[in-house]
Chains A and B, each alone.
Chain A
Amino acid sequence: MKIYETSVKRPITTSLIFVAIIVLGLFSLSKLPIDQMPEIEMNQAYVIVSYPGASAEDVENNVTKIMESALSTVSDLKELTSTSKENTAIIGCEFNWGIDIDGAVNDMRDKIEMVKQALPDGCSNPMILKISTDMMPIAILSATSKESTAALYKILDDAVANPLNRINGVGSVSISGAPQREIVVNCDPNKLEAYNLTVEQIGSAVATENVNTPGGSIDVGSETYSLRIEGEIKESELLNNIVVANYNGKPIFLRDIAYVSDTIQEKAQESFVNGVKGATIVIQKQTGANSVEVMEKIRAELPQIKKNLPKDIHLEEVMNTTDNIENSINSLVETFVLACLFVVIVVLFFLGEWRATIIIMVTIPVALISAFIYLLITGNTINIISMSALSIALGMVVDDAIVVLENVTTHIERGSKAKEAAIYGTNEVAVAVIATTLTLLAVFFPFTMMGGMAGIMFKQLGWMICIIMIVSTASALTLTPMMCSLMLKREKDKKHNKTFRKIYSPIKRGLDKLDVLYERLLTWAVRHKLITFLIACGVFVVTLVMAGRLGSEFIPASDNGQITGNIELPAGANVDRAKEIATRLEKAIDKNIPEKKTFTYTVGTPSDDDNNSFAMMNASGSNYISFRLRLKDLEERDRDMFTVAEQLRKEIGSYTEVDKFSVSAGGGGGMTSGSTVDVEIFGYNFEVTEKIADSVKAAMERLEGFKDVRIDREDYKPQFQIEFDREKLALNGLNVATASSFVRNRMNGMTASIFREDGEEYKIKIRNDRAHRQSIEDIENILIYNTQGKAIRLSEVAEVVERQAPPSIKRQDRERVVKVTATLYGTTLDVAVAGIQGEIDKMDIPVEIGTKIGGSFEDQQESFGDMGLLLVLILLLVYIVMAAQFESLRYPFIIMFSVPFAFVGLILSLFITGETLNLMSLIGGVMLVGIVVKNGIVLVDYINLNRERGMGISQAVISGGKSRLRPVLMTSATTILGMVPMAMGIGEGSELWQPMGIAIVGGLTVSTLVTLVIIPTVYGWFASREVKSYRKKHSLHLSRRTVKE
C-alpha cells in the first residue's frame, strides 16, 4: 500500500501525526532563544608579549619575528598581523571562518611553547587572548551626577554593578569614567632634601605603620585569648601623624614634609553623557547566555536599582544590542505575516474556493513549524537568518500541495469519489512532485556546504529550507490527499452563494481570457521560432550590458542608529583641549542633528588600574576623543544614519585643530557597517612606505566617495627622554634601573600600602606634589641616593631631552605594512576600487614595495568567488536531477534556457531599484536557479505527455502550454508575492534582505513570463529537428537497402 493510500484510509493517524509535529514545533519555538545572527565563532586570537624597556624596533626583531615564524605554521591561519611598539608585541592571528577556535588556540600554544626559549631574557610569558562575541558589551549604561561625582565610583559599584552582577547570565559589569578613590601623600622634595629623606623611605614608613598583625594567643586562667595588633590606620587623616624619621633626636611627622589628600585619581578617562559628566557602565554577558533574555532581566532590575540611587544620579541606556535584535526579528515577523496574507490571496484568486484554499494553507504551518524542531535540536536560535529562511520558504511550500490538489480536483470533476480521486490523483503526480522538490534540494543543499563567512550565514538557511521542503512534500503526499478526500466536492454538487459568484465570476472570466491570449501568443511564437529566439537573445544581451553598469558591494549596510567615531588632536595636546573640541561638537549636534537620542564621549587615558582588556587594543591618549551618537528609532526620523554620519564628518572636518578623525555609521559592528577599502603597502623602509601612503591618501581624498581616509601608522609622539650617562652613574655607584625607579616613584608615584575602609581597599600612593611635577627642572632636580646614602642630583648624571617617540611597527604576513583605510559613502565598492587601483598604477612605486587592496573588497572577492563556484555546483546538480527525471540529456538543457532570463530579471530589477550586486542579491540569484527550473519542468513534462498521447509537436506544445498556464502562474505568484514584503524592506534591518527579495521577485517574474513562451518555442525547435533527423536516418537506411536489393 502506498503512503498516500494509507494516509487517505487512515485520516486520524495522518492528521494526528501532523498535529504532533506542530505541537513539537511550537514547544521548540517556546524554548528557542532569540539572537541577531547564528552563533558565529570568532576567528581571531592575539598573543601579547611584553618586553620591558625595548624600543619598537627591538621588539620587532627580538620578539615579533620569532613569534611570527612560529605562529605562521598554525593550520587554517588566514592572516598574521602584528604590532610592535615600545615594551610590547601584539601578534594577531586570523583564522578561516568556521574552524574550531579552541583547537586553533591550543595549536598556537604548542607553537609558542616551542620558541619560548628563543625569546630574549626579560620577556614576559606570552599571553594568548581569544576574541569572542561575548566580549562585546550587550549594553552600556551611563550614569550622570552633579553632587555625587566624587563618590560616583563607589555608589555605582555598590548600587548598580553588584546587583547587576547577581543577575543570571550577566558576565561582568565594569565601570569606567568614574575616578576611583585614592589616598595620595604629596611630598615636598625641598623639605625631604632638608631632612635627608626620600620618597622610598616615606613609603616604607607608611607601609610598616599600616599593618595588622596576629600576635598568637594567650591563656588567661582557663580562657584562651587571641592576641592582635591593629596597626592599620582607621582614617586617612591619621596618616599625617605617622613618624617617618628622627632628625636630631626629634620625630618628624609625615605632616611636616608632605600633605595627605584623600581624593580621586588624578588622571582617568572622563565620560560625558549629553553634556553631563558621568560614568559608563559596560555590561558583558556570560558565554552562551542569551542576550535578549539577559537584557530583559536587566531591564526588570533597573527600576529597583534606580530607586536605591541618590537623587542626583541618573541612569540611562546608551547602547544595547537587543533593541536591534528585537526590532529586526519583529520586522521579519511582520514581513512573514504579510507574505502569508499574499499567498492566501493568490491561492484564493486562482482556485476560487475556500475549501481548496484551506487544504493548501494547512501545509504552511506544518512545514514551517517543523523547522523549529530542527533549530532546537541543533542548538540554534531564532535569528534574522532563520526568520528569513521561513519567509523564503513560505512561497514554495504550497507548490507541492497545489500540484496535488489540482490533479485530485481533475479526477473529482471526471466523476471519481473524493477518496479514490485523492489516492489515484496523488499517485499520478507523486513522481513529479518529488522531482521538483529534488531540484530545490539540489539548490539548497549545497548552501549547507559553503565555507567562509557566507557559510556561517547560509548554512542554517540551507538546512532549514531543505527540511521545510522535505516536510512540505511529505505533507503534500499525505496530509493534502487526506484532506482532499474529506473536503472536496464535485463542482456541480457545490452550492455557491451569490456574493461569492458576484466577486469571483469576473476573475474567472479574466483568467479564461488570459488562457486564450496566452494560446494566441504561444501559437505565434511557435510559428516564428527564429524571431522569438532572436528577440530573447537580444533582451539577454541588452541586460548583460546593463549588468556592467550595476554597482557592486559586499554586504548591504543596515541602519542600526549607532554612530561611533574618534577624533585625534595633534600629538601632545592635553585633555582640556580635547574636552573643548568635544563640547563644541556636542553643541553642533544639538543644533543640527534633531535625530540625536544620546551623545556620549570619552576623553583622556584610562588609568593603569583599568583592567579592561579592550583598552590594551585601542589607541588612547590625552589627545583622543571617542564618541558615540545614538539616533532615535527608525520610524521617528527621516534621515538614515549614513546621511547623519556624513554631516558629522563635515562638521568635524571644519575644526582646524583636529588632526585626524573617523566617523563610522553602524557602530563599527563588523558586518553591517558598510564597505571599507584598505590599501595595504608592504615594505621595510619607513620613509618610502610613508611617502607612498601619503600619496595614496591624497589620491583617495581626491576621488569621490572615500571618507575617513586614514593612515594607520601612528604619528611620532613628542616625549621627554632621560638619558643617563652610564659612566657617571657608575662613578656614583648607581645603575639605570635604580635611577629610573627614583624618577618613576616621584613622578608617577609609588604604591606604598593599602587603606581599608568598609571592606573596600584603596591605594596609598606617595609622590611629589603637583607643584613639583610640572617642568623639566623638576625632573632635573630629583635627588637620587646611592647605597652609601650620598645624594646625587639627576642633572649631574643625566640629560633630559625632548624627542619624538618612534611609532609602533605594524606587520602583516611577516612584512612591514602601512594601511591607508577609508569608508565608502555614496559610491560602490567596485567603482571605488577601480578608481584607487588606477591611481596606484600611475604612481611611481619601487619594486621592493608591494601594494594590495584589502578591506571589504577582499571579503567580497572571496565570497563572490565562492558564489560562482556554488552556482556552477547547483547548475550541475539541478541538471542531474532533471536528466534523471526525464531520462534525457536534451530536455534539461531546454529547461535551462529559463535560467539566463532569471538573471535578466534580476539585473533589471536591481537596476530599476538602484540596488547593487552584493552577496545578498547574488544569493537570491543562486536560489532562482532552482525556483525557475521548476516551471520549466512542469511545462516540458506536460508537453512530453501530450506527445506521448499522440499529438503533433506544435499541438502538443500549444495545448501543453495552455493547460499548464494556471499552475505555473499560481506557483510562481505564491513564491513572488511571498517575497514581495521582503523586497519592500519593512522595518529595521531590512536593508540586509531587501536586495535578495528584489532579486528573487524580479528574476522570477521575468523568467516565468519568458519561460512560458521561450521554453515551448525552444522545445518545438529541438523536437522538430529531432523528428527530421530521425526521418533522414530512416530514409537513408531504406535507400541503402533498396540499392543492395
Chain B
Amino acid sequence: MKAAFIAYNQAHVQDIEDILHQLSIRGYTRWQDIQGRGTKTGEPHLGSHAWPAKNMATLCIVDDNIAPILKKRIQALDNSAPEQGLRIFFWEAIDV
C-alpha cells in the first residue's frame, strides 16, 4: 500500500477527480484553498494579490500495483499543461 499526495493548481480539480475515478480509487482526503510553491520552477500559488492562484491537495492510499499507473496518469496531465503546476509524491503506508 502506498500513500499518494497530489498537490496541484486548483484548476486541475476536475481532472484529478476523473483520474481517481477511472482508477477506482474511492477513498481520498482533500484540502481546498491551500498555498504552495514549487521547488525549482513554476509560479507560487499563494492566493495573494501578486500570486492569485491557489492550490489543492489530495491524499489517497492506493494499492502498490495502482501507484505506478496513477503516477503515469498524473505526469501525463502535468505535461499537457506544465505551467499549471502539479506534483505527486508517494510514501510507504505501513498500516491501514
* Stretch among B19-27, B59-67, B76-84, B87-95 lining the A interface: B76-84
The contact string, 1 if C-beta is below 8 Å from chain A, for chain B 17-59, is 0000000000000000000000000000000111111100000
Also in contact, A420 and B52, with CB within 8 A (given A415-B82, A415-B83):
no
* Stretch among A452-460, A535-543, A545-553, A942-950 lining the B interface: A942-950
Instruction: Determine if B50 and A948 form an interchain contact, defined as CB atoms under 8 angstroms apart.
Output: yes
Chain B residues whose C-beta falls within 8 Å of the C-beta of A416 in the assembled complex: 9, 11-12, 81, 84
Instruction: Determine if A949 and B11 form an interchain contact, defined as CB atoms under 8 angstroms apart.
Output: no
Residue of B nearest to A946 (CB): B50
Is A414 positioned at the interface, with any CB of B under 8 Å from its CB? yes
Residue of A nearest to B48 (CB): A948
* Stretch among A175-183, A421-429, A1030-1038 lining the B interface: A421-429
Shortest distance in angstroms between B41's beta carbon and chain A's nearest beta carbon?
13
- Taking a contact as CB atoms closer than 8 A, the residue among B13, B15, B48, B83 that contacts A414 in the complex is B83
Shortest distance in angstroms between B34's beta carbon and chain A's nearest beta carbon?
14
Instruction: Determine if A415 and B81 form an interchain contact, defined as CB atoms under 8 angstroms apart.
Output: yes
Number of interface residues of B (CB under 8 A): 19
Instruction: Determine if B50 and A420 form an interchain contact, defined as CB atoms under 8 angstroms apart.
Output: no
Residue of A nearest to B53 (CB): A424
Residue of B nearest to A950 (CB): B50
Chain B residues whose C-beta falls within 8 Å of the C-beta of A945 in the assembled complex: 49-50
The number of A-B residue pairs with CB atoms under 8 Å apart is 39
CA distance A995 to B43 in the complex (A): 49
Also in contact, A419 and B14, with CB within 8 A (given A414-B81, A414-B84):
yes
CA distance A945 to B15 in the complex (A): 29
Chain A residues whose C-beta falls within 8 Å of the C-beta of B82 in the assembled complex: 415
Shortest distance in angstroms between B23's beta carbon and chain A's nearest beta carbon?
19
Shortest distance in angstroms between A688's beta carbon and chain B's nearest beta carbon?
74
- Taking a contact as CB atoms closer than 8 A, the residue among B11, B48, B54 that contacts A411 in the complex is B11
Shortest distance in angstroms between A234's beta carbon and chain B's nearest beta carbon?
99
Instruction: Determine if A424 and B11 form an interchain contact, defined as CB atoms under 8 angstroms apart.
Output: yes
Instruction: Determine if B50 and A949 form an interchain contact, defined as CB atoms under 8 angstroms apart.
Output: yes
CA distance A948 to B48 in the complex (A): 10
Is A417 positioned at the interface, with any CB of B under 8 Å from its CB? yes
- Taking a contact as CB atoms closer than 8 A, the residue among A415, A427, A944 that contacts B49 in the complex is A944
Question: Which residues in chain A, 362-421, are within 8 Å of chain B measured between CB atoms?
Answer: 411, 414-417, 419-421
Chain A residues whose C-beta falls within 8 Å of the C-beta of B11 in the assembled complex: 411, 416-417, 420-421, 424
Also in contact, A420 and B13, with CB within 8 A (given A414-B83, A415-B80, A415-B84):
yes
Instruction: Determine if A427 and B52 form an interchain contact, defined as CB atoms under 8 angstroms apart.
Output: yes
Number of interface residues of A (CB under 8 A): 15
CA distance A416 to B49 in the complex (A): 20
CA distance A987 to B83 in the complex (A): 54
Chain A residues whose C-beta falls within 8 Å of the C-beta of B80 in the assembled complex: 415
- Taking a contact as CB atoms closer than 8 A, the residue among A411, A417, A424, A948 that contacts B15 in the complex is A417
Chain A residues whose C-beta falls within 8 Å of the C-beta of B13 in the assembled complex: 420
Chain A residues whose C-beta falls within 8 Å of the C-beta of B50 in the assembled complex: 945, 948-949
Shortest distance in angstroms between A134's beta carbon and chain B's nearest beta carbon?
58
CA distance A424 to B52 in the complex (A): 9
Shortest distance in angstroms between B63's beta carbon and chain A's nearest beta carbon?
28
- Taking a contact as CB atoms closer than 8 A, the residue among A414, A420, A428 that contacts B14 in the complex is A420
Residue of A nearest to B15 (CB): A417
Chain A residues whose C-beta falls within 8 Å of the C-beta of B52 in the assembled complex: 427-428
Also in contact, A949 and B51, with CB within 8 A (given A417-B14, A420-B10):
yes
CA distance A415 to B51 in the complex (A): 17
Main secondary structure of the interface of B (DSSP, over half): loop
Residue of A nearest to B50 (CB): A948
Chain B residues whose C-beta falls within 8 Å of the C-beta of A949 in the assembled complex: 50-51
Chain A residues whose C-beta falls within 8 Å of the C-beta of B49 in the assembled complex: 944-945, 948
Residue of A nearest to B81 (CB): A415
CA distance A428 to B49 in the complex (A): 8
CA distance A421 to B49 in the complex (A): 18
* Most interface-central of A414, A421, A945 (chain B CB within 10 A): A414
CA distance A419 to B10 in the complex (A): 12
CA distance A415 to B13 in the complex (A): 13
Chain B residues whose C-beta falls within 8 Å of the C-beta of A421 in the assembled complex: 11
Chain A residues whose C-beta falls within 8 Å of the C-beta of B54 in the assembled complex: 424
Chain A residues whose C-beta falls within 8 Å of the C-beta of B51 in the assembled complex: 949
Residue of A nearest to B12 (CB): A420
Chain B residues whose C-beta falls within 8 Å of the C-beta of A948 in the assembled complex: 48-50
Instruction: Determine if B84 and A424 form an interchain contact, defined as CB atoms under 8 angstroms apart.
Output: no
- Taking a contact as CB atoms closer than 8 A, the residue among A414, A415, A424 that contacts B10 in the complex is A424
CA distance A428 to B48 in the complex (A): 9
CA distance A949 to B83 in the complex (A): 17
CA distance A427 to B47 in the complex (A): 10
Residue of B nearest to A941 (CB): B49
Chain B residues whose C-beta falls within 8 Å of the C-beta of A944 in the assembled complex: 49
Chain A residues whose C-beta falls within 8 Å of the C-beta of B81 in the assembled complex: 414-416
CA distance A391 to B59 in the complex (A): 55
Residue of A nearest to B52 (CB): A428
Residue of A nearest to B80 (CB): A415
Chain B residues whose C-beta falls within 8 Å of the C-beta of A419 in the assembled complex: 14
Shortest distance in angstroms between B84's beta carbon and chain A's nearest beta carbon?
5
Residue of B nearest to A427 (CB): B52
Residue of B nearest to A948 (CB): B50
Chain A residues whose C-beta falls within 8 Å of the C-beta of B9 in the assembled complex: 416
Shortest distance in angstroms between A947's beta carbon and chain B's nearest beta carbon?
8
Chain B residues whose C-beta falls within 8 Å of the C-beta of A428 in the assembled complex: 52-53
Chain B residues whose C-beta falls within 8 Å of the C-beta of A417 in the assembled complex: 11, 14-15
Chain A residues whose C-beta falls within 8 Å of the C-beta of B53 in the assembled complex: 424, 428
Chain B residues whose C-beta falls within 8 Å of the C-beta of A415 in the assembled complex: 80-84
Shortest distance in angstroms between B81's beta carbon and chain A's nearest beta carbon?
2
Chain B residues whose C-beta falls within 8 Å of the C-beta of A414 in the assembled complex: 81, 83-84
CA distance A428 to B51 in the complex (A): 9
Residue of B nearest to A428 (CB): B52
Shortest distance in angstroms between A955's beta carbon and chain B's nearest beta carbon?
14
Shortest distance in angstroms between A490's beta carbon and chain B's nearest beta carbon?
9
CA distance A836 to B96 in the complex (A): 100
Residue of A nearest to B9 (CB): A416
CA distance A459 to B83 in the complex (A): 50
Shortest distance in angstroms between B83's beta carbon and chain A's nearest beta carbon?
4
CA distance A411 to B52 in the complex (A): 12
Residue of B nearest to A419 (CB): B14
Shortest distance in angstroms between B73's beta carbon and chain A's nearest beta carbon?
16
Shortest distance in angstroms between B50's beta carbon and chain A's nearest beta carbon?
3
CA distance A949 to B50 in the complex (A): 6
CA distance A945 to B53 in the complex (A): 13
Question: Which residues in chain A, 524-574, are within 8 Å of chain B measured between CB atoms?
Answer: none
* Most interface-central of A415, A420, A421, A424 (chain B CB within 10 A): A415
CA distance A424 to B56 in the complex (A): 13
Shortest distance in angstroms between B16's beta carbon and chain A's nearest beta carbon?
11
CA distance A785 to B63 in the complex (A): 136
CA distance A948 to B51 in the complex (A): 9
Shortest distance in angstroms between B18's beta carbon and chain A's nearest beta carbon?
10
Shortest distance in angstroms between B14's beta carbon and chain A's nearest beta carbon?
6
CA distance A623 to B39 in the complex (A): 100
Residue of B nearest to A424 (CB): B11
Shortest distance in angstroms between B40's beta carbon and chain A's nearest beta carbon?
16
Residue of B nearest to A423 (CB): B11
CA distance A420 to B77 in the complex (A): 15
CA distance A70 to B21 in the complex (A): 89
Shortest distance in angstroms between A952's beta carbon and chain B's nearest beta carbon?
15
Shortest distance in angstroms between A312's beta carbon and chain B's nearest beta carbon?
83
Residue of B nearest to A947 (CB): B50
CA distance A792 to B51 in the complex (A): 113
CA distance A424 to B53 in the complex (A): 8
21 chain-A/chain-B pairs, Cβ below 8 angstroms: A411-B11, A414-B83, A414-B84, A415-B81, A416-B11, A416-B12, A416-B84, A417-B11, A417-B14, A417-B15, A419-B14, A420-B10, A420-B11, A420-B13, A420-B14, A424-B53, A428-B53, A945-B49, A948-B50, A949-B50, A949-B51
Further pairs besides A417-B11, A417-B14, A428-B53: 7, Cβ < 8 Å: A414-B84, A415-B81, A415-B83, A415-B84, A420-B11, A424-B53, A428-B52
> 6 tightest CB-CB pairs across the interface, nearest first?
A415-B81, A948-B50, A420-B11, A416-B11, A428-B52, A414-B83
